[in-house]
Structure 1
Amino acid sequence: MDMFERSVDFLNTILWDYLLIFGLIGVGIFMTIRLKFLQFTRVFPALKKMVVDIVKKKPVEEGKMSPFQALSTAVAAQVGTGNIVGVATAIAAGGPGAAFWMIVSAFFGMATIFSESVLSQKYRETKDGEVTGGPAYYIKNGLKSKNLAMFFAVTCIISLGIVGVMVQSNSVAGSVSSAFGVPVVATTAVLAVTVAFVLMGGMERIASFSEKVIPVMAGLYIAGSAAIVVMNIGNLIPAIESIFLGAFSPEAIGGGVLGVTVQQTIRFGLARGLFSNEAGMGSTPHSHAVADVPHPAEQGFTAMIGVLISTFIICLSTVMVNMTSGSYDVGMSAAEMTKNATVMTQNGFATGFGSFGGMFLSICLSFFSLTTIVGWYFFAESNVKFVFNSKAKTLNTFKALALTALVIGTMIDATFVWKLADLFMGLMAIPNIIAVFMLSRETRAILDDYDNCVKEGNVHWDYEYQDLAEEEQTSRKPVLRKGIGTTMIK
């Protein structure tokens, strides 16, 4: 067992310290240039449009989600314990400057997640009356590589639907037990019943759960963080200065006591940023694939909002709580602070809320973990449909397996299970990165098609034609005006 654990550690080092850092950032930079820095021009118009759509409550076609529901399900998975504990670990190990590089990775990640979203829309399929899609589908149908698609699907099922569920349930049980003194058994029972109720309702209930819980969950944490910053407003400017100074000269923070190098600062910042918003990982495209939109590009713009929420807002909230409250101590070495990273943010909230601070953070952590379980399960189920061709009996068996993993997760030491989750998440990201890069020409063509549609005043993508079998497409060439959803489907 010890040898197996060392092997997992070795593979994770190769994946996360080298392959994925360069691969994810590299594809993000490449897509940013290819898409002409769309981060600057598309996010806020998309945010405005989404608010209008929420107010109008447009009807959604059966078997699909509304754009907001798809975004909520994606954010449910993106926002987890990593946005609190993981971010604290990043600035503990990499210094305050890690926050700067976290934002850099999120900026480039927006272009990546746009690409994943539009590709999942273009290559999605309909099975048993429900739309489904994701990297496995655009790898199979776009790259024409069924083996690579199957590799992605299997690793995704293991990492998100089984191992990932275990570590998230462990976080909930541990947090509630320590903060409120509730027995782990009781917490497990409530969690299992809640998750089972949501999952048994299928896509519709998962979407409804996500769109109701996510805004409350995120708003609660952001408001609490803002309150801590306001209580320590005198430390805000010094905290911002230390972030920018530490990004390029970490030894200048605390007189070199931290013992952190620029390479470590960049590595921990980039890694945490990528992990927090999952851009390029291949997870969130599963929810964006089922969104009911008139054009794939529109859901791509919406997907970018998820990165804005998860990293630019929530992760930065965690950073500022730690930096302004004084829970981040520059007098300690990075090694010492990393050991105490789990309680660092808790101490930050305790400075303003007293004993309630620990309870507040526990509530936030519990909701973050709960929504992540639901989101990750939905993504894994999309791949179960891919591997087993969407058989109802198989899906019910997988639900039972995921709930079993949830229960087991509350009873074990999650340290090694987290390592396994990291390994499988890293493995599933590799084929997705390849696909995003190889299909980048199609992504750019879809964006150009959307712009042509806007100019002509008719934003439309011929999904009905897209869903036809390839031989039917050949015999039924659509007669549509140039630019109206025809660029990529001729």
Structure 2
Amino acid sequence: MYQFKEIVNLANTVLWDYVLIFALIGIGIFMTIKLKFLQFTRVFPALKKMIVDIVNKKQVEEGKMSPFQALSTAVAAQVGTGNIVGVATAIASGGPGAAFWMIVSAFFGMATIFSESVLAQKYREVKEGEVTGGPAYYIKNGLKSKGLAMFFATTCIIALGIVGIMVQSNSVAGSVSNAFGIPAYIVTIVLAIVVFRILVGGMGRIASFSEKVVPVMAGLYILGSIVIIIMNIGNFVPAIKSIFVGAFSPKAIGGGALGITIQQTIRFGLARGLFSNEAGMGSTPHSHAVADVSHPAEQGFVAMIGVFISTFLICLSTVMVNIASGAYNPNISAAEMTKGATVMTQNGFASQFGSFGGMFLSICLSFFALTTIVGWYFFAEANVKFVFNSKPATVNTFKAIAITALVVGTMIDATFAWQLADLFMGLMALPNIIALFFLSKDVKEILADYDSCVEKGNIYWEYEYQDIEEEKTRKGSILRRGLSTTTLK
């Protein structure tokens, strides 16, 4: 067992410290240039349109999600314990300057997640009356590689639907038990019942849960962070200065004495930023694939909002709380600070709000982990449908496996489980990045088609669905169904 753990650690070091940082940032830069820096012009108009749709209560077709529900489900998965504990670890290991590189990763990640979303929309399928899609589908239908698609699907099922659920449930049980003194087994029972009731409701209940809980969850955490920043307003400008100075010269803020180098600052900032918003990982396209929109590009714009929320708002909130409140201590060595990173943010809240601050953060962590469980399960289920051709019995069996993993996760030491999750998440990202590169021409054409539609005054896209039954007897059969046009006001 010891040797196996060492192999996993070595594989994670190679994947996350070298291969994935360059691959994920590389594909982000590549797509940003190819799409002519769409981050600057598309995010806020998409946000405005989505708010209008929410106010008008836009109706969606059965078996699909609204754009906001798809975004909420994606954010549910993106916003997890990594946005609190992971970010604290990043600034502990790389100094305040790591926050700058998180923002850099998020900026380029917007182009990546746009690409993932539009490809997921273009190559999605209809199975058992429900739309489904994701990287496995655009790898198979777009890249024409069934083997690579199966590899992605298998690693995704393990990473998100089994091991990932275990580590998230462990976070919930530990956090609630420590903060409120509730026995872990009671937390486990309640958590299992809540998750089971959500999952058995299928896509509709998952979407309803996400659109109600995620905005409240994220909003409360950001609000609490803003209050702490205001309470320490005198430290605001110095905190901002430490982020920008530390990004390029860690020694200028004591990093040299603490053993922090610029290489570490960049590495931890980029890695944690990419891990927090999941751009390029291949997870969030599963929810964006099922959004009911008139054109794939529309959901691509919405997907970019998810990265903005996850990194620009929530991760930066965590950074500012830790620096402004004094929870991050630049006089403690990086090695010592990293050991205490799991409680750093908790100390930041507790220093301002007392015991209530600790309980507040515990509640936030619990809801972050809960929504991640639901989001990750949904993504994994899409791949179960892919591998087993959407057999209802298999999907129901997987629900039971996921609940079992949830229960087991509260009873184990999460350290090795996290290492396994990191490994399989890294492995599933590789075929997705390959697909994004080779299908980048499709992404550019979809964006150009959308702009052409805007110029003509209506948005229209003829979706192509793989006919699953016909495909068994007539390879490559396609059902075409045009959506009604939406006239721009």
Q: TM-score, normalised by structure 1?
A: 0.96
Q: Partner amino acid for 1:293?
A: V
**Where does residue 161 of structure 2 map in the other structure?**
161
Q: Distance in 2 between matches of 1:219 and 1:201?
A: 26
> Aligned to 1:290, what secondary structure does the other structure show?
coil
**Where does residue 414 of structure 2 map in the other structure?**
414
Instruction: Report how far residue 351 of structure 1 moved.
Output: 1.6
Verify: 1:48 aligned to 2:48, yes or no.
yes
Verify: 1:142 aligned to 2:142, yes or no.
yes
Q: Partner amino acid for 1:341?
A: A
Q: Distance in 1 between matches of 2:244 and 2:92?
A: 16
Verify: 1:64 aligned to 2:64, yes or no.
yes
Instruction: Report how far residue 458 of structure 1 moved.
Output: 1.1
Q: Distance in 2 between matches of 1:305 and 1:74?
A: 10
**Where does residue 353 of structure 2 map in the other structure?**
353
**Where does residue 234 of structure 1 map in the other structure?**
234
Aligned pairs for 1:258-269 (under 5 A) are: 258-269=258-269
Structure 1 residues 397, 474: closer, same or farther in 2, change over 3 A?
closer
> Aligned to 1:280, what secondary structure does the other structure show?
coil
Q: Distance in 1 between matches of 2:379 and 2:326?
A: 38
1:140–1:146 Cα contact (<8 Å) kept: yes
**Where does residue 431 of structure 2 map in the other structure?**
431
Instruction: Report how far residue 432 of structure 1 moved.
Output: 0.1
Q: Partner amino acid for 2:38?
A: L
Verify: 1:405 aligned to 2:378, yes or no.
no
> Aligned to 1:256, what secondary structure does the other structure show?
coil
**Where does residue 124 of structure 2 map in the other structure?**
124
Aligned pairs for 1:451-466 (under 5 A) are: 451-463=451-463, 465-466=464-465
Q: Partner amino acid for 1:128?
A: E
**Where does residue 187 of structure 2 map in the other structure?**
187
2:124–2:133 Cα contact (<8 Å) kept: yes
1:169–1:410 Cα contact (<8 Å) kept: yes
Q: Distance in 2 between matches of 1:476 and 1:147?
A: 24
**Where does residue 111 of structure 1 map in the other structure?**
111
Q: Partner amino acid for 2:429?
A: A
Q: C-alpha deviations, 1:221-253, integer Å up to 9, x for none? A: 000000000000000000000000000000111
Q: C-alpha deviations, 1:120-177, integer Å up to 9, x for none? A: 0000000000000000000000000000000000000000000000000000000001
Instruction: Report how far residue 254 of structure 1 moved.
Output: 2.5
**Where does residue 366 of structure 2 map in the other structure?**
366
Structure 1 residues 474, 135: closer, same or farther in 2, change over 3 A?
closer
Q: C-alpha deviations, 1:380-430, integer Å up to 9, x for none? A: 000000000011110110000000000000001000000000000000000
Q: Partner amino acid for 1:84?
A: I
Q: C-alpha deviations, 1:308-367, integer Å up to 9, x for none? A: 000000000000000000000010010010000011101100121011111000000000
Q: Distance in 1 between matches of 2:475 and 2:165?
A: 41
Q: Distance in 1 between matches of 2:44 and 2:267?
A: 29
2:113–2:300 Cα contact (<8 Å) kept: yes
Q: Distance in 2 between matches of 1:141 and 1:147?
A: 12
1:276–1:311 Cα contact (<8 Å) kept: yes
Q: Distance in 1 between matches of 2:479 and 2:173?
A: 56
> Aligned to 1:126, what secondary structure does the other structure show?
strand
**Where does residue 78 of structure 1 map in the other structure?**
78
**Where does residue 13 of structure 2 map in the other structure?**
13
**Where does residue 392 of structure 2 map in the other structure?**
392
**Where does residue 4 of structure 1 map in the other structure?**
4
**Where does residue 304 of structure 2 map in the other structure?**
304
Q: Distance in 1 between matches of 2:70 and 2:217?
A: 16
**Where does residue 284 of structure 2 map in the other structure?**
284
> Aligned to 2:254, what secondary structure does the other structure show?
helix
2:236–2:324 Cα contact (<8 Å) kept: yes
**Where does residue 256 of structure 2 map in the other structure?**
256
**Where does residue 441 of structure 1 map in the other structure?**
441
**Where does residue 488 of structure 1 map in the other structure?**
none
Unaligned runs of 5+ in 1: 486-490
Instruction: Report how far residue 475 of structure 1 moved.
Output: 10
Instruction: Report how far residue 257 of structure 1 moved.
Output: 2.7
1:228–1:349 Cα contact (<8 Å) kept: yes
> Aligned to 2:459, what secondary structure does the other structure show?
coil
**Where does residue 334 of structure 2 map in the other structure?**
334
Instruction: Report how far residue 83 of structure 1 moved.
Output: 0.1
1:257–1:332 Cα contact (<8 Å) kept: no
2:161–2:380 Cα contact (<8 Å) kept: yes
Q: C-alpha deviations, 1:272-309, integer Å up to 9, x for none? A: 00000000000000000000000000000000000000
Q: Partner amino acid for 2:91?
A: I
Instruction: Report how far residue 12 of structure 1 moved.
Output: 0.2
Q: Partner amino acid for 2:300?
A: G
Q: TM-score, normalised by structure 2?
A: 0.96
Instruction: Report how far residue 476 of structure 1 moved.
Output: 9.7
Q: Distance in 2 between matches of 1:343 and 1:458?
A: 52
Structure 1 residues 46, 10: closer, same or farther in 2, change over 3 A?
same
Q: Partner amino acid for 1:359?
A: M
Instruction: Report how far residue 259 of structure 1 moved.
Output: 1.2
Instruction: Report how far residue 256 of structure 1 moved.
Output: 2.8
How many pairs does the alignment contain?
Answer: 481
User: What's the Cα RMSD here?
Assistant: 1.8
Structure 1 residues 254, 475: closer, same or farther in 2, change over 3 A?
closer
Q: Distance in 2 between matches of 1:382 and 1:48?
A: 30
1:95–1:258 Cα contact (<8 Å) kept: no
Q: Partner amino acid for 1:424?
A: F
2:64–2:291 Cα contact (<8 Å) kept: yes
Structure 1 residues 302, 152: closer, same or farther in 2, change over 3 A?
same
Aligned pairs for 1:32-43 (under 5 A) are: 32-43=32-43
Q: Distance in 2 between matches of 1:479 and 1:183?
A: 54
Q: Partner amino acid for 1:426?
A: G
1:257–1:330 Cα contact (<8 Å) kept: no
Instruction: Report how far residue 258 of structure 1 moved.
Output: 1.9
